[in-house]
Amino acid sequence: MKIDDISFLEKMVAVVPNAPQKHIEEMGCYAFIHFGMNTFTGKEWGNGKEPVSTFTLKDADTDQWCTCLKEAGMKGLIYTAKHHDGFCLWDTKTTDYKIMNSPYGRDLLSELRVSCDKIGIELGVYLSPWDRNSKHYSTPKYNEFYLAQLQELLTGYGDLFTMWFDGACGAHMDGKPAQVYDFASYYSLIRKLQPNCAISNCGPDVRWVGNEEGRARYSEYNVVPAYNADTQTIQKGSQQTDTDKFEKIDNMSEDLGSRSVLSNYENLMWYPAEVDVSIRPGWFYHKSQDKKVKSIDKLLNIYYGSTGGNSMLLLNVPPNREGKFADADVIALKGLGDRINSAFAEKMKVKSASGNILIADDVANGIEVTITQSEYQEYTITFDACDIDKAMLVEDIDFSQRVEMFELSTNVDGEKIIVFNGTVIGHKKIARFDIVNTDNLTISIKKCRLDAHIKTFDVYKTDYTTIKSERLDGIKSYFKILGTTIYLHHLERAKAKSAKKLAKQNK
């Protein structure tokens, strides 16, 4: 199929998000809470053999969690209800390996639900499929066990904005055969009990970006080839859909949604990216890492690249053994929120507008548009002259993701100055550029899948702050991702070797 054929363009723009996807994209930024047995053992992965008495939590300040996250600009949090060790941090009836039998003896998830409602932040849950404590793991009965846990979480703790899965399956580490996860039944139960809940990471609504370094793609597409978010696809990049018509695709590829890529696939899907990264080196709290918390500038670069790059940011903030965020994390979160608030404190008021397309928000605000002719789809706004350094662009994704290339320019004393060249916009694009003193800004859409549907074109006065970029960050990120890829390759070989050994023993 030719990539410029009208029929192909119509096929691409026919793909739009469902309600849970729209909601989670609008949230933009939310937190991960890794807390559990590992917090008290100093591990990242437990073996499921630690006694419940090891979990010596005396108190948990869930109000502090929610307050700090909200001040940082986050709209929700995802609670680790169970990690790979199988220790359950809610009052479950499925196992005795739970928080209720620990010295804490209270339902922490219930307490967190109260805090979320009081502070005004949404709640999501991560339930690890891998369970090193359950006697049912690596047997057909495990899926029934897991579904019972899901049922409790979906019916006992109010509305959840997301149910987060990964495909981690380390059965070989315990000398067991690989567990076959019944994801289809997991998804079906979620759709039945909480139809507005997005199924994330190892699920049909939100995809993993492909790394844990906080790096989104330069062009992050929402419309991608339809593929099955099963453990074979996702587990290769995790710790280690609703349809059965899927093509094979590497979800770690740099280009997932350009015309040239999509033209090779029959079925397409709306599948926005989630960028997961921890505020410190580990996912669980370790006191030794208190001085290794990411800098505010590092967090800002991640924020602009993810939330400002048509992705969702999932920032992990692990509570310490006192059940609170450590001081270093609190300082970093407050700094992040303060800088974001400062950067977007003064939006320029539109005085006039002209062009050959319409901006939905301006129309809603009663801005009259002077219709002009141009080679490209263009829109110009004027405002009181001042120093500006950023613009926020939002497509109306009810009409899909359409813009593939755009340019921002301004006219200063009769001279056109290009301040930004970009590719995709999608749900949100924050375009940052060098400070320029002007009273106008134009968006020119150079390449688009049929007509553009722009919802928001906002321009902001600079706050004169700068964001330091560590020169080695990109190199470090590259080698970490490369290292992860090599590690996962060796992990797959180890699994295969273990499976062969088990097969011989069973003969």
Report the 3 state secondary structure along 6-71.
HHHHHHHHCCCCCHHHHHHHHHCEEEEECCCHHHHHCCCCCCCCCCHHHCCCCCCCHHHHHHHHHH
CA dist list (Å): 431 to 390, 391, 458: 5, 5, 10
Q: How far is CA 381 from CA 295, 417, 420, in A?
A: 36, 15, 16
Nearest to 88 by CA among 136, 153, 1, 40: 153
382 and 329 fall within a common domain:
no
Same domain, 499 and 392: no
For residue 108, the SS3 value is: helix
Report if residue 319 sits inside a domain. Answer: yes
Burial readout 14-36 (b: 16 or more C-beta within 10 A, e: otherwise): ebbbeebbbbbbebbbbbbbbbb
- Same-domain status, 391 and 324: no
Domain of residue 388: give its range.
352-461
Distance in angstroms (rounded) separating the CA atoms of residues 370 and 352: 8
Q: Is residue 399 part of a domain?
A: yes
Domains contained in the chain, number? 2
Residue ranges of the chain with per-residue pLDDT less than 70: 1, 229-249, 470-507
Q: Is residue 98 part of a domain?
A: yes
The verdict on residue 493 lying in a domain is: yes
Q: Is residue 70 part of a domain?
A: yes
With a CB cutoff of 8 Å and minimum separation 6, the contacts of 269 are 15, 204, 223, 224, 225, 226, 227, 241
Is 13 a domain residue?
no
Are 354 and 370 in contact by the 8 Å Cβ rule? The answer is: yes
Same domain, 299 and 156: yes
Same domain flag for 180 and 32:
yes
Same domain membership, residue 332 and residue 191: yes
User: Do 112 and 258 lie in a common domain?
Assistant: yes
Q: Would you state the pLDDT for residue 52?
A: 98
Per-residue model confidence as pLDDT tens digits over 86-103 = 999 999 999 999 999 999
Residues 331 and 399 in one domain: no
pLDDT of residue 230: 57
On whether residue 6 sits in a domain, the answer given is no
- Are residues 332 and 356 both part of a single domain? no
Alpha-carbon distance 359 to 389, whole Å? 20
Claim to verify: residue 433 and residue 383 sit in the same structural domain: yes
Domain co-membership, 34 together with 169:
yes
Chain centroid offset of residue 330 CA:
21
User: 222, 399 in Cβ contact below 8 A?
Assistant: no
CATH, residue 358: 2.60.120.260
What CATH code is carried by the domain that includes residue 331? 3.20.20.80
Pairing of strands 162-165, 198-201: parallel
- Taking the C-alpha atoms of residue 403 and residue 4, their distance in angstroms, rounded to an integer, is 14
My answer on whether 90 and 32 are in the same domain is: yes
The per-residue pLDDT for 174 is 87
According to the model, what pLDDT value does residue 4 have?
Answer: 83
Farthest-apart Cα atoms in the chain, separation: 83
Whether 119 is covered by a domain: the verdict is yes
Query: Using only C-alpha atoms, what is the Rg of the chain?
Result: 24
Burial of 283 (0-12, 13-18, 19+ CB in 10 A): buried
Amino acid at 337: G
